[in-house]
Structure 1
Amino acid sequence: MTATVEEPSVESDGRVRCAWIDESRLAPADFVLYRDYHDTEWGRPLRDSVALFERVSLEAFQSGLSWLVILRKRENFRRAFHGFDIDRIARYTERDVTRLMGDAGIVRNRAKIEATIANARAAADLRDTGADLAELLWSFAPPPRPRPASFADVPAVTPESTAMAKELKRRGFRFVGPTTAYALMQATGMVDDHTADCWVPATCAASEKRS
């Protein structure tokens, strides 16, 4: 998930948040959804392989869409993809693809559905070699850096995200290019792109990163 607006957003609760959380531009229900995601998930270190696989999958589905669309449908995605159980998805067949293409609760994009299945198989293969998806992804996390002053200072791609995307592609993953890889790094706390004036404590992403 990336954003382009630059001014900080001061909400009705008095807290300053990253500019992409703009209460004035969102319907009340969407603001709550976005706010809670920003306050409790985005930028917090995530090291569980299944949870990371879910994020990889959802970031891929988000490609070309608003992240808000994915947040609205996230519970439907979890239901449709059996909690993003890697082994179960790795065993999906064409019948499952047909089932998912008929599910109005998710993003019905065949290429992205098939990529999720391929990625589950790649993640399972990775584990079978004695490696771990979380360990692989976190190996590309850069050293901690100061928070950006504004979203104008936030990159869309970095050398680390480019290297991550290249390695994932080599291992059989699909729909995880450098931009998607960087969005994944932001979402899972590998980088802390909360802006300097955001109320979310920096320790959520920075100090835990190397713990």
Structure 2
Amino acid sequence: MITVLIADDQPVVRQGFELFLAGHPNIAVIGHATSGKHAVQQVSALRPDVVLMDIRMPNGDGLTATREILARNGRIDDSNVRVIVVTTFDLDEYVFAALDSGASGFLLKDTDPEELVDAVITVAAGGAALSPRLTPRLMAEFARRGTQRSATRTTAPQHDLSLREMEVVQLLAQGMGNNEIARSLEVEQSTVKTHIGNICRKLDVDTRVHVVIWAYRNGLVSS
């Protein structure tokens, strides 16, 4: 059972998300939060698998709350809590700020119920979720930044990743979860988790999403 905490200052949004998720037999909403500070408290008390986090809330915004939650719970791939930022705003700066805060996904509030459910399941399994409307823009921006860096770089980006770890990076960039990567590489899921943990350690990043950001920014994958 995937447990979910919904953090949003609007009751109608909290109730709507809970209604969307209630129809899935393997998802249970175990709590609500009405502010960023309240979300941090609720995560500590309830230990949900996934938090649906609004950005603009009183008494602590969602991005600050996300950073605090993930800092308290260590590296996201070693933790039981993952955050999906859900907001009305689709401005690029919000998307990048959410991902830089350690979120595993970014969805818009008008996301279809099926997409919301799929995102919760994907993120709970260790994957990343981005609103389909945002993905092309985000990947294009990553690719643009990577191209700009490549044009000014005289040497290849330095890293200690093995060939297999680079394969994992490529598959992460395609949005695959641990199960899909394991099937693609014909290895056990535990092996995939080990690879991702090693990649995060070598790149000094906190989440699998940050691995993808690193890869795009350094021109190692393209959109």
TM-score (norm 1): 0.29
TM-score (norm 2): 0.28
Greater strand percent: which structure?
2
Larger relative contact order (C-alpha < 8 A, sep ≥ 6)?
1
